[in-house]
Structures are given as C-alpha cells and as structure tokens.
C-alpha cells in the first residue's frame, strides 16, 4: 500500500498553496511584458465626435486613447512614435449602421441569384474582401443586419476579424433575420421549395425558438421583417401580428439583445414601434404620425437612402432626370422624419451597392436631403455609438478605443472629404496611412 509523502489537504487549501507558489512567477512574467506601444498623432485639427478643434492632438497607448487635447499640452513619453498628419482632420472611426457583408451589388447579380446560385464558400470569400474595403473606407464598426441566405457565416466573419485573421470593422451581427412564413424569398413556382434568405418563424413556440436559436449561434442583434411583399408585383404589407412582435422583442431583450425591424409601411412601422424595437430600417412610407410615435417611444430611423438611390440607378434613372416614384416618396418621408425630430441612425444598406462606398449614405443625406454635414458626421460617429449601445467608441476621449481615421480639410463643412480617407487606425493598429 502506497503512502503519501505529504499530508492530505482540503481541495481549497491546495489551490491556495498552488496560487502562492505561482505568485512570484506571475509577477516576474508581468514585469517582463513589453510596454504597450504609444503613438502621438498630430493632425491639423481633431473632430472629437461632437466638435471640431484646431491644433489638437491625440495620444494612443496600446488599443486605447490615452489623451486628447491641445498639442502643446499633450506630454508624450520619449519612446512614443509621432505621426505627423499635416492638413488632415482626425476623427473617430465611422460606424456603418446597416450593411450586408455577404451581399454584393445587385447590378452584378440579383438578390435571388446570390441566394440560390452562389456557394457559401464564394460568398464568404466575397465577404472577406468586403470587410477589408469597409475598414479601409474609414468604417471601423458596422452593424451587419442579415446574412441573406448565408446562415451564420456573418458570425464566422466577425470571429475571423476579432482573431486578426482578416482585416475588417468591429461587427455587430444579426445572423439569419426573422420572417413570417411565406413572406420572404426567393420564390419560384408554388411546387418548389428553395432556401430562404431569412429564418421563418410563426406563433409563440416558433418565434421563441428561432430568437433563442439565433442568439445561441452568435447573434448580437435580432432583426425582424415587420412587413414585406407577400407576392411579386404587390406592395409591402405587415407580416407579423402585434402579439408576435411583442413576444419576439420580449424574448430577445430578456437575453440582452436589441431588436431592429425592416419596415417600410406605416402599419409595419407602427407595430414594430409599439413592440419596442430600437431602430426601424428604411421607413420609406413613414408618415408624420408614425414618426411622432417613434420619437415618443425612443425608436430611431435608419433611412438607408443610398439603397433606394442605387436601385433606382440600376433601373435606369440618373440624377437630373425626374425623380422616380420611389425617390419621391422617400423625399416626403424623410421630410416628415426630420420635422418630427426622430433620432437618425446612419447606415446605407451596403451590399445593395458596393462595400467601401459606404460614405455614399452620408453624402446623399447632405446633398439630396438637406442635412448639414456636421449633423451627419455626428450621427455617423457619436450618434450611432449611442444608439447602438457602444460606449467605448464614437468619440475621442481618454479610455475609449483608439479607432481613428484622418481625412483632408474639414469634413464638418465638406462631407465629400470622407471619400479621401488617408489614415485608418483600429484598436491602436494602423491599417492605412499616408
């Protein structure tokens, strides 16, 4: 019979002994850790997410902002790298409010063909390229609102970016999105069942199960189609009942997930608003009454004006020609939204048009819908961060993520300068520089 050379100890005491034994080694290892890199960025001006400041600089340590303020007052350690950015404005990385990395422009391939004919491997390869283009265009965060038939591939893209396998923006993903049975597509003949662009769910058991399944698979956001076209050549109509939407939002919120709603009809928007969604995507036929209701309930509008512009162009319309009915309606709904004071999220529905062209939404909001550049720039940085519950980004302040971009001149006066991104830093890592 073997005997133990050491007296037996309770398990908790043994763990404590091991911890004490390891402590000196941990301390030694920590003292040998390399210091976090420090970078001093010296642009002509800094837009901090709210206000423009001439002669300011930003000090970055590791992945975070260490200090922001007048350049003469920022003390940088001797080991700091100084990056001179003459003639450039430094600002927070832009936040894309509505994108689909697994889609590409509809004038290259129709939505139906992408969902039905393109392999998952091809779509993920495209998505990888789209993520890089989005980041290089100055968008360091993006809400990706639906994989459109590509299952949970958006979760994989997010993980690959987080693990530094591929470059791309920080992602908030909605995975498959939810639709009422029969209301989405693709649709062929009645006798043919084909893969759908979103997950079908109905009734109490079906909705609860689908919401929980998507959350369990990695959804940061639950997206629901509150209205859609039930058949070809007919207008959008509500899809889910008020009770179903209420249940969907309640189930998602109990797991800490916000809900966003695709909705373009007044009734679809009304039901989604009363259910408690956080943003309404598109809102093309919104009325003054609906926008007032949204404001009352704290629901924001993400108008995606660039998507409608792109689709109209694909159908032959060009600026300077009379507006097609779709864009006329959008002008009316946006005027009503702005008058109501409803909060605006900025997102263009990239994927309908080219990824990397994300600034198109900001340009159109200024050029076609009359918003001041400063208001649009605030909305695409600090505004989106606030609406999407991202307190660690969207403004430039000590302790926040070092997600920064630099563009020429003054983007609060000329929004088109966002087309000329010269510097992209995400988490203190430079992905593009002059």
Could you tell me if residue 432 is left (phi over 0), alpha (psi between -120 and 50 degrees) or otherwise beta? beta
pTM, entire model? 0.92
C-alpha angle 259-262-301 in degrees, rounded to nearest 5 = 80
Between 411 and 9, the more confident residue is 411
Q: Where residue 231 sits, what CATH number does that domain have? A: 3.20.20.140
Domains: count for the chain: 2
User: Residue 4 pLDDT > 60, yes or no?
Assistant: no
DSSP assignment letter at 321: B
Tokens (6 digits) for 308: 């409608």
Higher pLDDT, 31 or 290: 290
Last residue of a domain, one of 312, 338, 358: 358
- For 349, half-sphere exposure in the C-beta direction (CA atoms, 13 angstrom radius) is 20
Assigned domain for 33 exists: no
Question: Of the candidates 42, 31, 48, 33, which has an alpha carbon nearest to the alpha carbon of residue 76?
Answer: 42
CB neighbours of 75 closer than 8 A, spacing ≥ 6?
Answer: none
Q: Are residue 173 and residue 75 in the same domain, yes or no?
A: no
Q: Is residue 201 part of a domain?
A: yes
Which DSSP state fits 34?
Answer: P
Where does a domain end: 337, 358, 379? 358
Cα gap 272→245, rounded to integer Å: 7
Q: What is the largest CA-CA distance in the chain?
A: 97
374: phi > 0 → left, psi -120 to 50 → alpha, else beta; which?
A: alpha
Q: Are residues 284 and 307 in the same domain?
A: yes
User: What would the pLDDT profile of 267-319 be if each residue is shown by its tens digit?
Assistant: 999 999 999 999 999 999 999 999 999 999 999 999 999 999 999 999 999 99
Residues 86 and 105 in one domain: no
Mean pLDDT confidence for 397-420: 98
Pair 272, 420 in one domain: no
Q: Which of 341, 358, 375 marks a domain boundary?
A: 358
Gap between the Cα atoms of 86 and 409, Å rounded: 10
Is residue 82 domain-shared with residue 98, that is, in the same domain? no
Which segment, 35-39, 187-191, 388-392, is predicted with the most confidence on average?
A: 388-392
Please give the pLDDT value at position 213.
98
Instruction: Take residue 54 and report the two structure tokens written for it.
Output: 């001439």
Identify the CA nearest to 89 among candidates 377, 360, 362, 358. 377
The runs of H, that is alpha helices, within 11-54 are 11-31
The predicted model gives 341-368 an average pLDDT of 98
Task: Give residue for tokens 């509505």.
Answer: 98
Distance of CA 33 to the CA centre of its chain: 34
Structure-derived torsion over alpha carbons of residues 205, 221, 371, 95, reported in degrees to the nearest 10: -170
Residue 375 to residue 379: CA distance in whole angstroms: 6
Same domain, 88 and 153: no
Residues 184 and 155 in one domain: yes
Task: Report helix angle 266-275 to 288-297, nearest 10.
Answer: 10
Same structural domain for residues 129 and 244?
A: yes
Q: What is the CATH number of the domain that holds 75?
A: 2.30.40.10
Q: CA angle, corner 301, sides to 295 and 307, nearest 5?
A: 160
Q: Are residues 62 and 192 in the same domain?
A: no
Q: Which residues contact 113 (CB under 8 A, 6 or more apart)?
A: none
Q: Is residue 48 part of a domain?
A: yes
Shared domain for 130 and 65, answered yes or no, is no
- The label of the residue with tokens 């302040």 reads 397
Position of tokens 């004919």? 117
Q: Could you tell me if 69 and 112 lie in one domain?
A: no
In a domain, 146, yes or no: yes
Flag whether 26 is in a domain: no
pLDDT tens, residue by residue, 225-281:
999 999 888 999 999 999 999 999 999 999 999 999 999 999 999 999 999 999 999
In a domain, residue 206? The reply is yes
Residues 135-158: pLDDT tens digits? 999 999 999 999 999 999 999 999
**Is the distance from CB of 95 to CB of 385 less than 8 angstroms?**
yes
What confidence tier does 3 reach under pLDDT thresholds 50, 70, 90? very low
What is the model's pLDDT at position 2? 36
- What is the residue range of 143's domain? 94-358
Burial pattern 111-145, b for ≥16 Cβ within 10 A else e, equals bbebbeebeeeebbebbbebbbbbbbbbbbbbbbb
- Is 23 part of any domain? no
Do 192 and 85 sit in the same domain of this protein?
no
Residue 161 lies in a domain: yes
pLDDT band at residue 13 using 50, 70 and 90 as cut-offs: very low
Query: How would DSSP label each residue in 171-186?
Result: EEE-TT-EE-TTSSS-
């Amino acid at each position: 019979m073997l005997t133990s050379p050491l007296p037996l100890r309770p398990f908790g005491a043994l763990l404590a002994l091991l911890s004490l034994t390891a402590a000196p080694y941990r301390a030694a290892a920590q003292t040998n850790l390399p210091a976090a890199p420090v970078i001093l960025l010296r642009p002509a001006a800094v837009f901090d997410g709210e206000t423009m400041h001439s002669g300011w600089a930003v000090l970055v340590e590791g992945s975070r902002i260490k200090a922001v303020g007048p350049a003469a007052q920022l003390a940088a350690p001797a080991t700091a790298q100084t990056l001179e950015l003459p003639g450039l404005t430094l600002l927070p990385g832009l936040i894309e409010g509505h994108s689909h990395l697994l889609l590409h422009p509809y004038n290259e391939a129709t939505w139906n063909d992408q969902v039905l004919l393109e392999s998952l491997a091809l779509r993920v390869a495209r998505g990888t390229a789209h993520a890089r283009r989005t980041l290089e265009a100055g968008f360091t965060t993006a809400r990706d609102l639906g994989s459109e038939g590509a299952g949970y591939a958006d979760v994989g893209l997010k993980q690959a970016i987080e693990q530094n396998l591929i470059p791309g923006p920080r992602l908030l993903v909605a995975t498959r999105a939810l639709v009422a049975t029969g209301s989405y597509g693709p649709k062929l003949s009645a006798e043919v069942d084909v893969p759908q662009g979103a997950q079908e769910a109905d009734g109490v058991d079906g909705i609860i199960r689908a919401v929980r399944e998507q959350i369990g698979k990695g959804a940061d956001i639950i997206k629901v189609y509150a209205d859609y076209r039930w058949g070809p050549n007919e207008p959008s109509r509500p899809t889910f009942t008020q009770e179903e939407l209420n249940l969907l939002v309640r189930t998602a919120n109990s797991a800490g997930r916000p809900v966003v709603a695709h909705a373009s009809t007044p009734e679809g928007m009304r039901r989604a608003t009363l259910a408690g969604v956080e943003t309404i995507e598109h809102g093309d036929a919104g009325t003054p009454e609906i926008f007032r209701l949204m404001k009352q309930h704290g629901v924001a509008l993400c108008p995606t004006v660039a998507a409608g512009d792109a689709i109209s162009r694909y159908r032959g319309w060009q600026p300077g020609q009379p507006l097609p009915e779709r864009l006329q309606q959008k002008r009316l709904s946006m005027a009503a939204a702005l008058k109501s004071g409803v909060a605006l999220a900025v997102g263009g529905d990239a994927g309908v048009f080219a990824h990397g062209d994300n600034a198109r939404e900001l340009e159109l909001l200024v050029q076609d819908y009359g918003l001041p550049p400063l208001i649009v720039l605030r909305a695409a940085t600090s505004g989106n961060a606030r609406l999407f519950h991202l307190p660690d980004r969207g403004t430039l302040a000590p302790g926040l993520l070092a997600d920064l971009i630099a563009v020429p001149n003054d983007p609060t006066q000329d929004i088109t300068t966002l087309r000329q991104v010269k510097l992209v830093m995400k988490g203190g890592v430079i992905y593009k520089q002059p």
